[in-house]
Structure 1
């Protein structure tokens, strides 16, 4: 668990996403859009290749929050999808979640200021995270 003092840096978390992960996520979520598994279809619709599900990427943010805060109650988690996470046929894409602890209000709610990137490119914008810790 990280230091949750306002202003403290949160230790960056990096997660790998493989094509096998996308297949497993599609089965679990019911989202079988072929842009997440078929290179030719992804390219045909103008994408740079097979991309990770946006909600899978956001779930990795939730995983980082859980690792940082332990048993804290997550009250708000959201972001805008601003760039795709391109997952290569071999190897893995990497998503890094980093940030700092924001202010704690009088009700004990804490905000986290996050940055979510893949290979140095911001993939989620305007992340909003509020926890009760």
Structure 2
């Protein structure tokens, strides 16, 4: 865990360190086991295509969780995130090859919300294969 970020040191517009997260079919199988979400759209290419998807897709909650890692790493404490929500705009398509897919995440402090509670709103953007995969992704973070 890194040192906690001080509320006094943060201003709107502060950019968080960006990150990229690789996603392979093996990643999806491990996540399915951990989450107990064995929907075949996350592992069976034939089924995914039959229901109109371009290929196997990452779990939405997996994509959401990877994105917020930018915030938790920056804040220095996962418990600092007191609220988090996203809209799913496109799925993360995961080809069956050695490379898989990559989720690219950037974030910045959009506003200071409450001086007494030391909370800020962080807006995130997440892309995969040049497409925005999360919309209106926002976290409320309580800083030190």
TM-score (structure 2 length as normaliser): 0.86
Q: 1:13 aligns with which of 14, 19, 39?
A: 19
Q: Which runs of 5+ in 2 are unaligned?
A: none
Question: CA 1:62–1:99 in 2, change beyond 3 Å: closer, same or farther?
Answer: closer
Counterpart contact for 2:71–2:107, Cα < 8 Å: no
Partner of 1:117: 127
User: 1:4 Cα deviation (Å)?
Assistant: 3.7
TM-score (structure 1 length as normaliser): 0.93
Q: 2:85 aligns with which of 78, 100, 112?
A: 78
| RMSD of aligned alpha carbons | 1.5
Please give the alpha-carbon distance, in whole angstroms, between the structure 1 residues aligned to 2:57 and 2:65: 15
Task: Please list the CA deviations of residues 66-115 of structure 1 after superposition, one character each: whole Å capped at 9, or x if unmatched.
Answer: 11111261111110111010001002201011021122222311110111
Task: Please list the CA deviations of residues 19-77 of structure 1 after superposition, one character each: whole Å capped at 9, or x if unmatched.
Answer: 00000000000000000000000000000000000000001022111111112611111
Counterpart contact for 1:4–1:69, Cα < 8 Å: no
Q: Give the stretch that moved more between structures: 4-13 or 15-24.
A: 4-13
